[in-house]
């Protein structure tokens, strides 16, 4: 099983490259990403989080399960929603479990891209799924949720990692 990279690993701060090969290796990678996500009890996982700097992510939020390759995120409802958010790549030093903080996100988004076979995918989301999509696309752009926090809150999280 693939290890989840943690804050401090340069792959998490480097924008991911588009996926160009839709082959057996990509299908295996997506299966391994689901395996790693479930083992860590997460709801989403992006390529860079397992050391693969490619634009793809998997998710399983409230019974909605899927993956998106080369995603493009569009904000449908820019109303800012503040809710607790954590990240498998930002674990506490003591617990090795994700650290959480109130994090602002847009209320509604649409993610478009393709699936493992190159077929078009489009998913509209609100609530936790919208938060997940924004979080995972941020990973693909080299950003972490702590980047969205006020400096004092981000500092508290960083002191615990």
Residues annotated as part of the active site = 136
Question: Among candidates 67, 51, 70, which has minimal Cα distance to 59?
Answer: 67
| C-beta separation of 112 from 79 below 8 A | no
Burial 73-103 (b: 16+ CB within 10 A, else e): beeeeeeeeeeebbbbbbbeeeeeebbebeb
């Amino acid at each position: 099983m693939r290890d989840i990279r943690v804050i401090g690993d340069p792959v998490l701060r480097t924008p991911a490259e588009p996926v160009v090969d839709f082959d057996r290796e990509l299908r295996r990678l997506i299966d391994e990403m689901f395996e790693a996500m479930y083992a860590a009890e997460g709801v989403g996982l992006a390529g860079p989080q397992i050391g693969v700097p490619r634009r793809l992510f998997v998710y399983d939020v409230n019974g909605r399960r899927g993956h998106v390759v080369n995603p493009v995120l569009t904000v449908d409802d820019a109303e800012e929603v503040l809710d607790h958010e954590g990240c498998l790549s930002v674990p506490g030093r003591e617990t090795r479990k994700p650290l959480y903080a109130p994090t602002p996100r847009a209320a509604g988004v649409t993610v478009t891209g393709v699936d493992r076979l190159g077929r078009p995918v489009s998913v509209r989301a609100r609530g936790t799924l919208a938060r997940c999509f924004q979080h995972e696309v941020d990973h693909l752009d080299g950003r972490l949720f702590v980047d969205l926090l006020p400096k004092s809150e981000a500092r508290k999280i960083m002191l615990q990692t």
